[in-house]
Amino acid sequence: MDEHSANIVDLTHIEKTFGAVRALAGVDLMVSRGECVGLVGHNGAGKSTLMNILAGTLAADAGEISIGGKPQKHYSVAQAHKLGVRCVFQELSLCPNLTVAENARVLHPSIAGWGWRKQAGRLIREKLDAIFPDHGISTDSMVGDLPIGKRQMIEVARAFTVTKESVRLVILDEPTSSLDSHRAGQLLAHVRRAITDGGACVLISHLLGEILEYTDRIVVMRDGKVVAADRAAAFSRDRLVTTMGATAAGRTGRADAGTVARGSTPVRVRAQPVRQSDGFELVAHQGEIVGLAGLAGHGQTDLLLTIFKAAARRTAGVKISDPVALIAGDRQSDGIFPLWSIAENIGIRSIKNLRRGRLISPDLETRFAESWRDKIKILTPDLRNNILSLSGGNQQKALFARALGSEARIVLMDDPMRGVDIGTKLEVYELIRSEARAGRTFLWYTTEMEELQNCDHVYVFRNGRIVADLRRDELSEEKVIQSSFEEAIHS
């Protein structure tokens, strides 16, 4: 291995596509010895995909990976470990049914034979002591019994443990998301110490303060590309926000701004996130399209599901006045019935009205589906065909037809337009607007700025709480990003 090479990692022109989605469109990334690189970007910018490729858990479609100056032909997880590349993944990679010491062993095949448990325990305990003094974790504890914060500490400490191969690069993907500010500070201080010893680090975080304070160089990604890379000192908070945000695609503004003044129509939904402690709540009136924004996984889906459940059973913190329908985000697992026909998939939510006597009438079902096919243009020769015969966008239209054809006056949308082509999107936006004019209420969780432009009102979520409440005229991409990334100073 070439110990003199200054560059630990050289990625050139890495490409990766998932189905129709281009996650990485030719990314170059260089990390040199003794450097901490901050990687930032909005949802779906490709950060995690890139790090998975670097850690060997995903194979790149094209491009070159070279570690320590040596080009890697068959790069794999095992190879990455051998070369000293470690990754702390966003979703934790510990086995809950093993003890802390056993989990440490998982990363070190060389710990074996008599006394391996003691050896592994000592290894992880020493690292925990070094990074998080007074951590209070026993190495014999079952990981599944520990709170999430401690698990994250274990995982981070484990990534820095050394047996045979020295650690050259540690990738930390949102390592502080479950740590309090005290522990996060200890971790970041350790990162600085580790890189002065000749290691390197890639830090992904949505806390821009951490990035600006603790990294040497910042790489900004957007839409699967690197859009800026510079010394950390050259960036400011504002510059980061604007570089991350400017949308490449042209905006599709609302065709009409003929909205009703807020408050003139009755309230349909009132809901408070479980973790909201300041009494703030989400309010949606009749005929409104309300957007739920913020980074992915910050409580938007949870709130939608709580509202959905409240329709069946009284739930604390949620008040709704009408029947509710939910359009799922993960079409394949939560949306369609893959063995059923298109007509059956559309009719299932309205089955009560499609009966003759006690039985479902296929006639009524087909007629019902036909009326929706014409209304929202589902492209199919026959509604009796299997739902999977439709393209992704048309499957999504069928799910919209299912919700809109029902008696539900409140429609919850859990980022339903993922992976749908732009033409279909525009049609569906129009459909949503016309349904809203007719008095339906929409709650729309979306990670795309373009879709928020269709909303009358936007709530921004962070860490399971509503942190901003923006009217249509106040809405700007910068504001949404600003509040999504705002530091949790007083927590």
Partner 1 sequence: MTSLAGASTLRAVVAEVNTPRRILRAILPALSLALVVAGIAWFNPRAISYFGINLMLNLGIPVVLATIAQMFVITVNELDLSIGNFVSFVGCVAAIWLRENPVLGVVILIGCIGLYALMGAVIYLRNVPSIVVTLGMLFVWQGLAVLVLPRPGGKAPAWLHDIMNLRTPYVPFPIVAAVVIAAVVHFGIMQSSYGAILRGSGGNPNAIGRAGWSLLRTKVVMFLLAGIFGVLSGLSLIGLTTSADANIGKGYTLLSIAGVILGGGEFVGGRVSPIGAVIGALTLTLAGTLLNFMRISPDWQVGAEGAILIIVLAARALINRAGPGVLSHK
Q: CB under 8 A: which stretch of 63-71, 139-147, 302-310, 469-477 binds partner 1?
A: 139-147
By CB under 8 A, residue 93 contacts partner 1: yes
- Give the H/E segment covering residue 376: helix 362-376
Nearer to partner 1, 33 or 117 (CB): 117
152 makes contact with partner 1 (CB under 8 A): no
Residue 487 found at the interface with partner 1 (CB under 8 A): no
Q: Looking at 78, 233, 305, 379, which residue binds partner 1 (CB under 8 A)?
A: 78
The residue among 113 and 250 lying less far from partner 1, judged by its C-beta, is 113
Neighbours of 330 (CB within 10 A): 12
- Which string of b and e fits 65-74 if b means at least 16 CB within 10 Å? bbbbeeebee
Q: Does 81 bind partner 1 (CB under 8 A)?
A: yes
Binding of residue 94 to partner 1 (CB under 8 A): yes
Of the candidates 4, 73, 74, 113, which one interacts with partner 1 according to CB under 8 A? 113
Give the H or E element holding residue 291.
strand 289-294
Minimum Å gap between C-beta 183 and partner 1 is 10
What is the C-alpha to C-alpha distance for residues 269 and 313, in angstroms, rounded to an integer?
15
Residue 423 touching partner 1 (CB under 8 A): no
Any residues with CB less than 8 A from the CB of 394 and at least 6 apart, and which? 378, 379, 380, 424
Q: How far is the CB of 169 from partner 1 (least distance, A)?
A: 15
332 binds partner 1 (CB under 8 A): no
C-alpha 483 chain-centroid distance: 16
Nearest-angstrom CA–CA distance, 413 and 328: 6
Q: Rounded distance, CA 489 to CA 491, Å?
A: 6
Question: Could you say whether residue 145 binds partner 1 (CB under 8 A)?
Answer: yes
Backbone angles phi, psi at 212, to 5 degrees: -65, -35
**CB 92 to partner 1: min, Å:** 8
Q: Is 89 in the site for partner 1 (CB under 8 A)?
A: yes
| Bridging pattern class, strands 359-360 and 355-356 | antiparallel
Q: Which is nearer to partner 1, 89 or 442 (CB)?
A: 89
Q: What tokens were used for 378?
A: 């589902």
Give the range of 8-16, 34-42, 142-150, 160-168 binding partner 1 by CB under 8 A.
Answer: 142-150
In the range 260-289, which residues lie near partner 1 by CB under 8 A? Answer: none
Q: Is 444 helix (H, G, I), strand (E, B) or coil?
A: strand
Q: How many helices (H) and strands (E) does the chain have?
A: 15, 21
74 binds partner 1 (CB under 8 A): no
Residue from 21, 112, 249, 305 in contact with partner 1 (CB under 8 A): 112
CB 45 within 8 A of CB 222: yes
Q: Is 166 in the site for partner 1 (CB under 8 A)?
A: no
97 is a contact residue toward partner 1 (CB under 8 A)? yes
What one-letter code names the amino acid at 183?
R
Query: Who's near 175: CB < 8 A, 6+ residues apart?
Result: 88, 152, 156, 187, 203, 205
In angstroms, give the least distance from the CB of 277 to partner 1. 11
**If binding is defined by CB under 8 A, does position 98 make contact with partner 1?**
yes
AA identity, residue 145 = D
Q: Is 66 in the site for partner 1 (CB under 8 A)?
A: no
- By the rule CB under 8 A, 162 interacts with partner 1: no
Measured CA to CA, the distance from residue 133 to residue 146 in angstroms comes to 17
Kindly tell me which residue out of 21, 59, 95, 233 binds partner 1, with binding defined by CB under 8 A.
95
Instruction: Please report how close the Cβ of residue 112 comes to partner 1 at its closest, in angstroms.
Output: 4
Strand partners, 25: 15
Question: Is 102 among the residues that bind partner 1 (CB under 8 A)?
Answer: yes
Any bridge partners for residue 22, and if so which? 17
Residues numbered 372 to 401 that lie near partner 1 (CB under 8 A) are: none
Q: Which of 142, 227, 360, 364 binds partner 1 (CB under 8 A)?
A: 142
3-state SS track over 143-167? HHHCCHHHHHHHHHHHHHCCCCCCC
Q: Is 147 in the site for partner 1 (CB under 8 A)?
A: yes
Q: Which of positions 43-62 make contact with partner 1 (CB under 8 A)? A: 55, 57
Count residues near partner 1 (CB under 8 A): 36
Q: The tokens of 358 are what?
A: 């006690």
Q: Tell me the closest approach of the beta carbon of residue 65 to partner 1, in angstroms.
A: 16
Helix runs in 134-245, H state only:
148-160, 181-196, 208-214, 237-245
Binding residues vs partner 1 (CB under 8 A): 55, 57, 76-78, 80-81, 87, 89, 92-98, 102-103, 105-107, 109, 111-113, 116-117, 136, 141-142, 144-147, 180, 182
